[in-house]
Amino acid sequence: MTRARARTLLLAASLLLPTSAALLPACSADKPRRPSAAGVEAPRRNGAPPSAPGSSGNGSAGRPGSTEAAKAGEGPTAPPPPPPTAATPVAASAPAAAAPDTGVLLERFPMPAGLKRVKVEKVVDGDTIWVEGGKKVRYIGINTPERGDPLYEEAKRLNGDLILGKSVYIEPDVEPTDTYGRDLGYIYTEEGLLVNAVLVQRGLAYVYRWHPNTRYADRLLVVQKEARGAHVGIWNLPTPSPERGYYADQKGHVFHRPTCASVRTIPESRRLVFQTRDEALDSGRNPDRECRP
């Protein structure tokens, strides 16, 4: 082959090379990626696969054991949730104690006829009220807890629930008033229920035998003994430490511990001795507020 012929062949080959390269298939590295189901490929973070379609985007789809991961085959299948357990039954609370039967009191303390009818304007405490006409009335035969003592508020509340803003009937006894100028009386509701007795029945008052106003003292003491046996109100409070005996003045209305200073002031001729606290209570006397027997 001549030298001119060789140059001709080389020139022809150089002209054919670009056309041949254009006919070759594209490299696999240059193939476009298949779009995601949403039409746009989601960005990848730290090499993790994109979130599954419909994912909230909080990353739960990529956690092993999650429902989405299990569906996509990206992790182990999560165990089925345990069956719901029955709710733990709540113990039924004990029913509230029934209120004492006031019908018994209607039979034991029938309201006399012809009593004065007045309206209650204010309740001072468990055993004192104001009625129309500016009259202050102290209940006869009972003594409710004083302010600061246990069950003071309960006694006052019950008294108010029974008669505040309502009309009542007042029955006097031997003395119409006390040394403080208060009217004395037994208070009846419009239904004829003796409020003095209700307070004793609910354990919110001691029977207080105050001579000469003792018309219903014995009957009230029966009600008090029943309340004490039922452990209601003041009879459900912790019992004071017992003594070997209790002292009282024959003319007095309270009883004392043997060590109480008040005992020394009682004349020997009037000194009473009770063997038990219940015996002193059954006499119609109240615990002294100083020594609290």
Dist. CA 193–CA 135, nearest whole Å: 21
Please say whether the beta carbons of 128 and 136 come within 8 A.
Answer: yes
Residues involved in catalysis: 138, 146, 182
Pairwise CA distance, residues 234 & 226, whole Å? 13
